[in-house]
Amino acid sequence: MYFTTLANSIFERSISDYHEVNDIDIELKNPYQVKSIEYYLYLKNWIDTVQWHLEDIIRDSNIDPVKALEIKRRIDLSNQDRTDLVELIDSYFYEKYQTVKYSEKATFNTESPAWAIDRLSILALKIYHWQQETLREEVSDEHRETCRKKLNILLEQRQDLSLAIDRLLADIESGQKYMKVYKQMKMYNDPELNPVLYGKK
């Protein structure tokens, strides 16, 4: 089985599980074994799915400003969780392939496997929500057709991205490419680095 076949199926399950309740405060019940790659993929998409709906809520022009600030801070924390999890997934691949003997001509990719998988997770959400638009009964046929065309583009994009990720992993495994992972140097959540936060001391 290709890795993205597994990933896409887990992302779809996560999205489906969330929308059974469709509540940003729903308790996460990850069905996979703790610390397995399946567990991390499900958690990754779950974070993305909740954040997708937080982003919807904060765009309500009638939202209470206090509530908006609460949601904004929750989105900031979610972005940090998302970044941490991507780095954790990259660590999984880095450890998996650490004994590979690389070719002298081996090169590294413009992005790591996990950041490409991050895009695949977001694509799964786009596909789900555009598909929902094609099923709405209260909108015009023109609206549904426009959404259907965009959905088809997203499905093609997922196919292309999945192929690219699987090829990247195959190239790493065969020694044609090597992993070079840079940790995200985020500053805004760190009280020692954000001048607004450390200025309060």
Assigned domain for 178 exists? yes
- Write out pLDDT tens, residues 158-196: 999 999 999 999 999 999 998 877 776 666 667 776 776
Amino acid in the structure at residue 71? I
| The most confident of 99-103, 124-128, 192-196, by mean pLDDT | 124-128
Mean pLDDT, rounded, for 130-141? 93
199 within a domain of the structure (yes/no): no
74 within domain boundaries: yes
Summarised one tens digit per residue, pLDDT across range 44-56 is 999 999 999 999 9
| Cβ proximity of 120 and 89 under 8 Å | no
**Is there a domain that residue 198 lies in?**
no
| Residue 191 maps to a domain | no
Alpha helices, H only, 3-60: 3-19, 37-58
Contact status, residue 80 vs residue 51, Cβ threshold 8 Å: no
Q: Is residue 2 pLDDT above 60, yes or no?
A: yes
Prediction pTM value:
0.90
What is the per-residue pLDDT for 189?
66
Pairwise CA distance, residues 72 & 147, whole Å:
29
The answer to the question of residue 143 being in a domain is: yes
- Alpha-carbon distance of 49 to 60, in angstroms, equals 18
Q: How many domains does the chain have?
A: 1
141-167 confidence digits (pLDDT tens): 899 999 999 999 999 999 999 999 999
What CA–CA distance (Å, rounded) separates 115 from 52? 18
The answer for residues whose C-beta is within 8 angstroms of residue 70's C-beta and 6 or more apart is none
Whether the Cβ atoms of residue 143 and residue 136 lie closer than 8 Å to each other: yes
Please indicate, yes or no, if residue 193 is contained in any of the structural domains. no
What is the percent of the chain with per-residue pLDDT over 90, rounded to a whole number? 85
Provide the residue range defining the domain that includes 87: 3-186
- The closest of 30, 37, 196, 48 to 127, measured between CA atoms, is 48
Residue 82 inside a domain? The answer is yes
